[in-house]
Structure 1
Amino acid sequence: MKDRTHTADAEPGETVTVAGWVHEIRDLGGIAFLILRDATGKIQVKFEKEEMDDDLVETGLGVHRESVITVSGDVEEEPRAPTGVEIVPESVDVVAEAAPDLPLDPSGKVDAELSTRLDNRTLDLRKEEVKAVFEIRAEVLRAVREYFRSVGSTEINTPKIVATGTEGGTELFPITYFGREAFMNQSPQLFKQLMVGSGLERVFEIGPIFRAEEHNTPRHLNEATMIDFESAFVDHEEAMDVCEGTLKAAYEAVAENCAEQLEILGYEDFEVPVGDFPRLTYEEAIERINATGALDEQLVWGDDLSTEAEKALGEDVGGHYFITDWPSEIKPFYIQDYDEDPQLSKGFDLMHPRMELVSGGQREHRYEKLVAGFEQQGLDPDQFEYYTKMFKYGMPPHAGWAYGVERLVMTMLDLPNIREAVLFPRDRQRLSP
């Protein structure tokens, strides 16, 4: 609408046309108020029944909540109104009438179960606290992209339909691709590695990944949005520096640019990580976990870290931290091992006190050792020939990592369920909407 004024921009003395949703109607007898809501906020519309046309009053007060309307009229100062101003309407037009029975209450006065909210996500996002989460998520992505560009990284887009899985295994969604079997990609890992061997050298991608995991927990999804980074001529230590930089950039941007959203969500003291993140070796990590006494059984070398172990260590550290130098057998085939100790890898994880955020490491760039890594993990190198052959043609040393946008937002805002940080979640039960 060319002549539309957003509610936040309506100033006393103006004649405006505003458009949005009917948030609430309060009928006090001789006077009534309609609260109209748009993306920028809310504004009060005043109906003095004795002084207005009956049709105008009937239209304005007879419309159902969440109907879309336009209101034209004069803006007047009113200190008692929610925003200090109100509109005295000259016309009210109903653009789209809402059904009287809503599946949930967008005003937030009546709570709804998460499943009901996700079934009706469009209505759910009309609640300011839900909308605030996704405005913060958008700011996170903007800040991360800006940081990547500041360190000379080129944004790429890689295929999501592939002939073979990135890491093999059963966590693959098969599809039929013109009569052939194909899969939804688990990760852009192999493709981004190929790009560091090209003229681009340093790349990043923000895009979807698909994993047919059987998990059905508050922190797992079967479709997620990943932030991936890969760079030539860096080692795992330098890759961790960039990883830490993106995370701090995201927090700083949210603190600087999302004050309104943080206030809506109740964050009076939003904390931005400061100082260098601690870097614990895997061996140091299991020693610290065992020392907490939080687990029924002591961890030994080679154990992966359970949710309980991660929680114990997170509480002990008290902030973001890296775990480095993982056992080779735990990490994927493409992670490089130390030449002086092949049982030890150059893989790392970035941890939030609540959970793992990032997995990364230095990659094996030497053809013979890469192929040997496939075989050690029971994978057929011939199935990945498009990938391995490029390592014959001059592949530089490189390192990288990946983390999920949803987990970052979930931990940043202390959300109870990862589905709160994705518009339309895909998990074992949910395929629609």
Structure 2
Amino acid sequence: MDERTYTADAEPGDEATVAGWVHEIRDLGGIAFLILRDTTGKIQVKFEKDEMDDDLVETGLGVHRESVIRVAGAVEEEERAPTGVEIVPESVEVVAEADPELPLDPSGKVDAELPTRLDNRTLDLRKDEVKAIFEIRAELLRSVREAFRGLGCTEINTPKIVATGTEGGTELFPITYFGQEAFMNQSPQLFKQLMVGSGLERVFEIGPIFRAEEHNTPRHLNEATSIDFESAFFDESDAMDACETVVRAAYEGVAENCATELETLGLAETFEVPEESFPRLSYEEAIERINATGELDEQLVWGDDLPTEGERALGEEMGQHYFITEWPSEIKPFYIKDKEDDEQLSTGFDLMHPSMELVSGGQREHRYEHLVAGFEQQGLDPEAFEYYTKMFRYGMPPHAGWGLGGERLVMTMLGLDNIREAVLFPRDRQRLSP
């Protein structure tokens, strides 16, 4: 049982035992200070050399930075100390000695490049700013789960090893599965659709997805966290409403419960919860607005995907989260339903942050014959997906949903320069360890 006192709880007059890492040592001659850091903060340990046992002083001041120590002593008020209190030690125990040469400086006084930080992620997370990102990420996911439950969703977990890819193509990671070829799942898309045809009806999942993308940019990963939603008897408008609710809940949770972390990141004064409804632009209007900015060398035409430069130009103009709706059917996946009154238009939508895409979603094709035809139009073999398609013959309700990139949500919320900042141990084309 952990019987220590956390540094944030140490009060003047207490007899306390604190434990943590040696953050810094300042030796001023007759007096010296050791700063001990734990998960709640830092506390000053004062060594008055002439008044203390030599062995105690030698142990406390001879230890290397980032070593783990345990200190017992009296807590006294000291206005000049970083937290207004300090400990006068009666004993110092070195629990785990650190090497004197560290691959990076957890105090943050000496900067390290991102690859070095990722190679030494455990040390990196000892920095307050890095730790704050992951405390916020945890609160974001908690808030998202709570929002889903408020929408009446059941949390599910779907397979990550599958016999066929969700969307086919070259973005699949093949693996050997007991002598058979299998793949790491690109998305829970097909499984969550099957669930809305079950007794569950409305579901969500937060879990890993795997894409063998060739992109190696500050916003792409090969293993990412997908936040997925699917509901029976929803159309694309209902799904967008749910998406807006969940994204806003994530911001609200962070604003309410992560004030200290936002302060640490320098965001306390600028962090804002989206209050206005997210505008909904048609694809046609989006390309017209992008073309009008003059930022692209060539004008976009109907059927073009939106280039990164175009997304950024439109995002700067919009200045907030917004949806792009009514995408051309030909550039959306087979499972996206076409508009009833125009087969050239799909019910697909994307949620955009001013800097990048966050969400892809839409109403799904629930009619068996139309679904099979969609497979064939995109060059996929319906028989390879029989486990999925056959369920549409047994009474599949209309349904809609979406997938939200968890790391992208953290990245855009906090204004991070690289998506890898939002992942403990990123997986990209160059990084498989740690």
C-alpha deviation, 1:269, in angstroms: 2.2
Unaligned runs of 5+ in 2: none
Amino acid at match of 2:294: G
Question: Following the alignment from structure 2 to structure 1, what is the Cα–Cα distance between the partners of residues 303 and 177?
Answer: 39
Shift of 1:341: 1.1
CA distance in structure 2 between the partners assigned to 1:222 and 1:377 by the alignment: 24
What is the TM-score with the length of structure 1 in the denominator? 1.00
Per-residue deviation at 1:355? 0.2
Residue identity matched to 2:428: D
Gap regions ≥5 residues in structure 1: none
Which residue type is aligned with residue 203 of structure 2? Answer: V
Residue in 1 aligned with 2:266? 266
User: In the aligned structure 2, how far is the partner of 1:187 from the partner of 1:277?
Assistant: 25
Q: Calculate percent identity across the aligned residue pairs.
A: 84
Once the 2 structures are TM-superposed, how far is the Cα of residue 2 of structure 1 from its aligned partner?
Answer: 3.4
Q: Kindly provide the CA deviation profile for residues 43-78 of structure 1, in whole angstroms up to 9, marking residues without a partner as x.
A: 000000000000000000000000000000000000
Matching residue of 2:59: 59
Q: In structure 2, what is the equivalent of residue 110 of structure 1?
A: 110
Instruction: Tell me which residue corresponds to 2:372.
Output: 371
After superposition, give the CA deviation of every residue in 1:265-302 in whole Å (9 maximum; x if it has no partner). 00122111111100000001001111111111111100
Q: What secondary structure sits across from 2:266 in the alignment?
A: coil
Please name the residue that 2:256 is paired with.
256
Aligned to 1:290: 291
Question: Aligned runs of 1:353-372 on 2, under 5 Å?
Answer: 353-372=354-373
Alignment of 1:108-187 (within 5 A): 108-187=108-187
Q: Partners of 1:423 and 1:404 in 2: how far apart? A: 15
Correspondence for 1:35: 35
Cα distance in 2 for partners of 1:179, 1:304 equals 39
CA distance in 2, matches of 1:353, 1:114: 25
Q: How far apart in 2 are the matches of 1:343 and 1:382?
A: 26
SS at match of 2:87: strand
Mapping of residues 28-427 of structure 1, within 5 Å: 28-267=28-267, 268-427=269-428
Q: Which amino acid aligns with 1:221?
A: L
- Which deviates the most, 285-294 or 93-102? 285-294
Deviations 1:390-417 (A, max 9, x none): 0000000000000111000000000000
Corresponding residue number in structure 1 for 2:433: 432
Distance 2:3 2:431 in 1: 41
> Offset of 1:338 from its aligned partner?
1.2
What is the CA-CA distance between 1:171 and the residue it aligns to? 0.4
The normalised TM-score by structure 2 is 0.99
For 1:381 and 1:279, the matched residues in 2 are separated by 34
Distance 2:169 2:194 in 1: 22
Task: Give CA deviations for 1:76-126 in whole Å, capped at 9, x if unaligned.
Answer: 000000000000000000000000000000000000000000000000000
> Which whole-Å CA distance do the structure 2 matches of 1:200 and 1:406 have between them?
27
- Find runs of 4+ consecutive structure 1 residues off by over 6 angstroms: none
2:77 alignment partner AA? E
Structure 2 letter corresponding to 1:422: V
Counterparts of 1:344 and 1:3, CA distance in 2: 63
Instruction: Quote the Cα distance in structure 2 between the aligned partners of 1:376 and 1:144.
Output: 36
**Which secondary structure state, in structure 2, belongs to the residue aligned with residue 231 of structure 1?**
strand
Whole-Å separation in 2 of the counterparts to 1:262 and 1:243 = 24
Partners of 2:148 and 2:283 lie apart in 1 by: 28
Q: CA–CA distance in 1 between the matches of 2:387 and 2:3?
A: 56
